[in-house]
Structure 1
Amino acid sequence: MSAFWAEVIGTMILIALGGGVCAGVSLKKSFAANSGWIVITLGWGLAVAVAAYSVGSFSGAHLNPALTVGLAFTGSFPWADVPSYIVAQMIGAILGAVIVYLHYLPHWKVTEDPATKLGIFATGPAINHPFSNVISEMIGTFILVLGILAIGANKFADGLNPFIVGFLIVSIGLSLGGTTGYAINPARDLGPRIAHFLLPIPGKGGSNWKYAWVPVVGPLLGGSLGGLFYKNVFLGESDSMLWLVLGITVVVLIGAQLLSKRTAN
């Protein structure tokens, strides 16, 4: 299997299981309804582990554009392969969301709240404050990429790494996920959001495109900074790209702060 199709299939599995746990907890007449945040975070952690075990030997199981870009900044992944990986991840994320829709097909109609339905596919802020929301996504993804790189530098029993990464996802969700739903992955949010927009979900409402840039830009910045921080600090390899990404981050945060003030007014 090619790396491209491995990323498609791996990301599809990730969203089918991750979006699936959100649906099970949120949709009415599901046996898992109202089982809570811990179930969601554990479900997402296991989703990452299962997806990584499935395709890791074929593509490295990035399953996340922010991780792909972060690894490219460390020099451990070729920039020439970044676009194809991101396209594959987006396709897989959309397909995974379609699987969730089909699996819970009769539950959409009996669940009235449009926001609940959207929350199964895409993330949203607990408090709408773009500046803080971007920072939350940056911090979560920074720790994700830094954590994955640090885990990779340690020796575990053969085949244990994906399981440890799954626990990293659980930790991020439990500790940092309560502000924005911890997308920490542009494909995880944008792909299912596109699926939500296209699918004939009864009473689904809008797809909240005004917020959609946050779980794309925030994770990309956080993942880039995580990779560059690891390269400069952990590996001791100076890279001037760190300053460029920091500059871009400052510009994005200034824009986000202006949006936050406009939202408050």
Structure 2
Amino acid sequence: MHPYVAEFVGTTFLILFGNGVVANVVLPKTKGNSGGWIVIAAGWGLAVFIGAFCANEFSGAHLNPAVTLAMYLAGGLSLPDSFGYVGAQMLGAMTGALLVYVFYREHFRQASDDPNAMLACFSTSPNIRNLPQAFVCEVIGTFALILPIFLLVAPGFSSGVEPSDGDPVLGLGSIGLLPVGLLVLGIGLSLGGTTGYAINPARDLGPRLIHALLPIKGKQGSDWQYAWVPVLGPLTGAALAVLVNAFL
């Protein structure tokens, strides 16, 4: 499988399972309705694990532009392939979000009087609307994702994947996929209570675009005023993690 296709497939499953558990908890008349935050955090941890094992052998399983940026800054990925990875991740995130809507379509209809719940099935939002503070939370949350990944990866490690330039790229590879899933679970349980821990620009922006495009009964705006936070916050956190790792 081509690495870009792997990133698309892995990110599609990441969003299908991740946003799927949100829909199962927040939409009315589902089996998981009102399951609570622990269910959502556990579901997202499993979503990362599932998406990663689909893509890892072929692309290093970035599934996240923040991870791709970190790998590029660390010298593990060329600039053209970085853009290729991010494009595939965005398309995968949009496809996964569309599948969640198709799967829960009848329940979205039941939620027509709760536009916030509908939007939550696609993208994140802060519980206290202070955008600078939310930005800081996304920076710290993504830093807490990227730096442990670097610390788990031995110096000089490469995944063995060879994209278009023929050079191996950095990825999850031999560190195993379960630790990364558990890491995301930990971030969700500990640091997810403020913004919903996007920690992944594609995870938020791709589904937010789908929310804006779909003719969902009762929906309101897609909150574009906030949309820059889960994009720039994770990218900033990833860059800071690379900088700190260089001094360790």
Per-residue displacement from partner, 1:112-155 (whole Å, max 9, x unpaired)?
2000100110000111111111100000001101111122239x
Q: How does 1:142-181 map to 2 (within 5 A)?
A: 142-153=143-154, 161-181=176-196
- Letter aligned with residue 106 of structure 2: P
- Is the 2:153–2:175 Cα contact (8 Å) retained in structure 1? no
- Is the 1:137–1:218 Cα contact (8 Å) retained in structure 2? yes
Corresponding residue number in structure 2 for 1:183? 198
- Letter aligned with residue 36 of structure 2: G
Corresponding residue number in structure 2 for 1:6? 6
Moved over 3 A (4+): none
Q: Distance in 2 between matches of 1:42 and 1:152?
A: 24
Please, which moves more after superposition, 91-100 or 219-228? 219-228
1:22 lines up with 2:37 in the alignment: no
Corresponding residue number in structure 1 for 2:160? none
Corresponding residue number in structure 1 for 2:128? 127
- Is the 2:152–2:175 Cα contact (8 Å) retained in structure 1? no
Q: Distance in 1 between matches of 2:71 and 2:34?
A: 37
Corresponding residue number in structure 1 for 2:85? 85
**What SS does the corresponding residue of 2:121 show, helix, strand or coil?**
helix
Corresponding residue number in structure 2 for 1:117? 118
- What is the TM-score with the length of structure 1 in the denominator? 0.84
Aligned CA RMSD, in angstroms, stands at 1.5
**What SS does the corresponding residue of 2:30 show, helix, strand or coil?**
coil
Q: Distance in 2 between matches of 1:86 and 1:65?
A: 5
Unaligned 5+ segments in structure 2 are 156-172
Taking only the aligned residue pairs, the percentage that are identical comes to: 49
Decide which of 201, 208, 218 is 1:193's aligned counterpart.
208
Decide which of 207, 213, 219 is 2:228's aligned counterpart.
213
Per-residue displacement from partner, 1:221-245 (whole Å, max 9, x unpaired)?
0011112211x222xxxxxxxxxxx
- Letter aligned with residue 38 of structure 1: I
Q: Distance in 2 between matches of 1:71 and 1:145?
A: 10
1:80, distance to aligned residue in structure 2 (A): 2.8
- What is the TM-score with the length of structure 2 in the denominator? 0.90
**What SS does the corresponding residue of 1:106 show, helix, strand or coil?**
helix
1:159, distance to aligned residue in structure 2 (A): 6.6
Corresponding residue number in structure 2 for 1:255? none
**What SS does the corresponding residue of 1:35 show, helix, strand or coil?**
coil
Aligned length: 231
Q: Distance in 2 between matches of 1:171 and 1:85?
A: 26
Q: How does 1:39-78 map to 2 (within 5 A)?
A: 39-78=39-78
Corresponding residue number in structure 1 for 2:36? 36
Unaligned 5+ segments in structure 1 are 235-265
Q: Distance in 1 between matches of 2:71 and 2:100?
A: 29
1 or 2, which has the higher helix percentage?
A: 1
Corresponding residue number in structure 2 for 1:222? 237
